[in-house]
Amino acid sequence: MNAGLDAAPSVRVVGPGRAGTSLAHALRHVGWQVDLLERDAQVADAAVGVDLLLFCVPDTSVAAVAAQVRPVPSTVVAHVAGALGLDVLADHERPAALHPLVSMPNAQVGAERLVGAWFATAGDTFVHRVVTALGGRGVDVADADRVEYHAAAAIASNHLVALLGQVQRVADQVGVPLEAYLDLVRGGVESVAAMGPAAALTGPVARGDVDMVRRHLAALPEVERPAYRALALEAALLVGREQEFAFLRDSQT
């Protein structure tokens, strides 16, 4: 029987990977009844007897797995895929989406990061109870906007990590450890949080130092120049200096 408003909600998680185990641990910690299905479990009756059925499977598998589940009118059926809409859950009467805006490298770290996290929600409002239970913040994202929303998430997380990989490579060339730059990274993120990206930008592009940017490009190994050039141009656009730094569009610079 599904829980009332005062009872501990019940959730069944399909997908025992990093996202699924992180959400299972986090929800158990706040008193929810959680059933985490094994990887090879049969899912035909997975929606029976729970308030929420949560698909934590790869994006490309959500529609196929959801189609294997016998619909239960009273059960909310949700996925955690950032770029997918509700159409992949079309067979179910109470579809929803719940995408946590956190990286979850393992279950323990993921469960900790889910507390107080941002979540992109859609569909049945029951998923707002998940957000509230975890002390999080929710923002509704329409189906038509979810790919663009997910692209922003990839830039914020994956691309930032890739950029720090470049920092490490360049710094290694002169014998400086990556750790020496991490406080600089943290300070930049804190400044963005406090005043927004444009006001937080410092450095040669922000002050219009074209010569220094040219010197950076000349000093960098050729393989590192495209990323530097592209992001320096983004910085110039951010602060209205694109004309001064138009030369960055030239790959021969």
> Domain of 236: which CATH number?
1.10.1040
Residues 152 and 132 grouped into a single domain: no
Residues 21 and 87 grouped into a single domain: yes
Residues 25 and 137 grouped into a single domain: yes
- The rounded percent of the chain whose pLDDT value lies above 90 is 94
3 within a domain of the structure (yes/no): no
Range of the domain at 18: 10-141
Residues 47 and 132 grouped into a single domain: yes
pLDDT score, position 253: 65
Residue 250 pLDDT exceeds 90: no
Residue 120 pLDDT exceeds 80: yes
- Across the range 121-145, mean pLDDT stands at 98
For 48-154, list the strands marked E by DSSP: 52-55, 76-79, 95-100, 118-123, 137-140
pLDDT tens digits for range 53-94: 999 999 999 999 999 999 999 999 999 999 999 999 999 999
Last residue within a domain, chosen from 87, 115, 141: 141
Cβ-based neighbour number of residue 161 at 10 Å: 10
| Residue 87's CATH number | 3.40.50.720
Instruction: State whether residue 33 is helix, strand or coil.
Output: strand
Residues 77 and 111 grouped into a single domain: yes
CA-CA-CA-CA torsion sign (48, 116, 154, 86): positive
Instruction: Tell me the backbone φ, ψ of residue 170, rounded to 5 degrees.
Output: -70, -40
For residues 238 and 198, the answer to whether their CB atoms sit within 8 Å is yes
Q: Which residues, at least 6 apart from 217, have a Cβ–Cβ distance to it below 8 Å?
A: 225, 228, 229, 253
Last residue within a domain, chosen from 98, 116, 141: 141
Last residue within a domain, chosen from 90, 114, 141: 141
Question: Is the model more confident about 51 or about 253?
Answer: 51
Residues 86 and 50 grouped into a single domain: yes
Rg (C-alpha) for the chain, rounded Å, is: 23
